[in-house]
Amino acid sequence: MKHVPHPHIAERAKQGALTTAQEHTGFNGWLAVKITNGVATMWCAYAFTILALISLPEAISGGTAPLIAWIAQTFLQLVLLSIIMVGQKVAASASDKQAFQTFKDAEALLEISNDVQRLLKSNTELTTEIHNILNANAAPKTSSAH
């Protein structure tokens, strides 16, 4: 029996490991990734903090309600947006590394599987050869009883 690797193995080798960078498509996807990469930086978070702090004195002078609104609507939404996006980029990068490592592990396992198939084929051929030799030697010999 001849071992035939599954066709997915060749396709997988051509495709490589899938990463988040391969997910966007078309102009809208490209633009969204560019904007996300620009906003998802700590430098952007620092700039948003400075921008938010400009309106802080007015929020303080307005009393409790405007100050709470400033914290919730200006500072948290503006600054935390960038910080959360930075965290998501870090998580996506870790996920890409994990995907690549999983891909390499799967490739190694597929190679081991192919090696096992070659060994099984060799073992079957040798076992058949030994069986044939033993059967040839054990064939009944005609002997003259007299």
> Residue 101 domain-assigned?
yes
Domain-located, residue 22 = no
DSSP 21: G
Give the CA angle between residues 29, 80, 55 to the nearest 5°: 115
Q: How many domains does the chain have?
A: 1
Report residues of the chain scoring pLDDT below 50. Answer: none
**Does residue 12 lie within any of the structural domains?**
no
> Which domain, by its residues, includes 96?
34-134
Give the list of residues 6+ apart from residue 48 with CB closer than 8 angstroms, or none.
78, 79, 81, 82
- pLDDT value of residue 13: 75
* Residue 24 belongs to some domain of the structure: no
The per-residue pLDDT for 48 is 93
Q: What is the pLDDT of residue 36?
A: 86
Regarding pTM above 0.75, the answer is no
145 assigned to some structural domain: no
Q: What is the four-CA torsion angle of 129, 130, 133, 136, rounded to 10 degrees?
A: -100
